[in-house]
Amino acid sequence: MSRQQELALSPGGRLRQLLATGKTLICPGVYDGFSARMALTVGFECLYMTGAGVSMSRIGMPDIGLVTQTEMVDTAGMIANIDPKTPLIADADTGYGTAVNVARTVERYITVGVAGFHLEDQVVTKRCGHLNGKECVGLSEYLSRIKAAVETRERRKSDIVIIARTDSLATHGLDEALYRLKEAVKVGADVVFLEAITTKAQLETYCDAFRGTGVATLYNRVQGSHGYKITPKEAEQYGLGIMLYPASCLVPAYTGITSALQKLRMGVEEERSERVAPLEIFRVCGMDEIQEREQGVNDWARAFKKDSE
């Protein structure tokens, strides 16, 4: 494929192309422009916008269903367009209401350039998938959300990737959770996402249930949680299509910033801060590209002025 053809691919098309390789797609959890810029600089092929991260960074609140659709869409659009060639998978929570709200959420995600999103079966006042006290809606309501997303995608002639997530493993058990995911695939979901897997047996059963079906499986590797821990290499062996690391930026930010602030409070400057010049950070955030564009505009203006004289 030529560079031109690659650039012509839609966000969803680029994500589908990555999934078609059969390799596990490792996606770091980003939540603002700075974390996204750092992940892009390191060279990840796909990013994941974590709802928990957006909730904490944008409104300073825990992930218990308080962040709004507007805040999620605005953040997703900003991240997705820093480098449109790198697809972004975004958390869409419950869709933020009824099936009508789901349709609007999907419509807006398509518009701002999101490549894929996951939609879950918790009640609207949801909680982080790794907290206790979760509640799930009935199967028909869950499927109505997936169906609304699929119909919106068809109406918009989009290829955005729809990821069906279920949190029912904790509330209804493994058999019901797998049944829900299979039913979601029947109504048009592209990828399945079993949240909060805690044992090797659960993971193996989940992967076996969809092996050879053409449906990609997603694993959410939440660092510090009670979830079953596997490495990227093991994810490949299980045949997982996507592996999310939602806390990959949150945890270092929390530990690093807290440590630096505690030292500053005691009157001690953080030594590592002296080793990073402001220009280095500006470059991560696109300073070189901006200066190149600025230089190009200035060169054009000088040439135009000379030709006009």
Active site residue 118: yes
The verdict on whether 91 is a catalytic residue reads yes
| Euclidean distance between CA atoms 123 and 63, whole angstroms | 14
CA distance 196 to 253: 23
> DSSP for 68-127?
-HHHHHHHHHHHHTTSTTS-EEEE-TT-SSSHHHHHHHHHHHHHHT--EEEE--B-SS--
Identified catalytic residue from 220, 221, 238, 245: 220
Task: Examine the residue annotation and report whether 195 is marked as an active-site residue of this protein.
Answer: yes
Residues 6 or more apart from 106 whose CB is under 8 A from it?
92, 95, 117, 148, 149, 152, 153, 160
Picking from 143, 174, 235, 41, the residue whose alpha carbon sits closest to that of residue 151 is 143
**Cα angle value 178/179/184 (rounded, 5°):** 95
Q: Residues with Cβ < 8 Å from 65, sequence gap 6 or more? A: 93, 94, 124, 125, 126, 127
| Residue 172 known to be catalytic | no
Question: Among the options 63, 121, 159, 167, which is catalytic?
Answer: 63
Helix axes 139-155, 174-186, angle to 10 degrees: 30
User: Which of 14, 31, 37, 91 is the catalytic position?
Assistant: 91
| Amino acid letter, residue 26 | I
270 a catalytic residue: no
Choose the catalytic residue: 14, 109, 120, 130. 120
Q: Which of 27, 46, 128, 249 is catalytic?
A: 128
**Among the options 118, 145, 153, 221, which is catalytic?**
118
Nearest to 165 by CA among 30, 57, 51, 17: 51
The yes-or-no answer on residue 81 being catalytic is no
Is 45 among the residues known to form the active site? no
- The three-state secondary structure class of 242 is strand
**Is residue 167 among the annotated active site residues?**
no
From the candidates 165, 167, 180, 219, give the one annotated as an active-site residue: 165
Pair 152, 103: CB distance under 8 Å: yes
Contacts of 291 (CB under 8 A, 6+ apart): none
3-state secondary structure of 28: strand
Q: Which residue of the set 14, 31, 46, 93 is catalytic?
A: 93
Catalytic annotation present for 175: no
Catalytic-residue membership of 132: no
Q: What's the first-to-final CA gap in the chain, in angstroms?
A: 46
User: Catalytic residue numbers?
Assistant: 48, 63, 91, 93, 118, 120, 128, 165, 195, 220
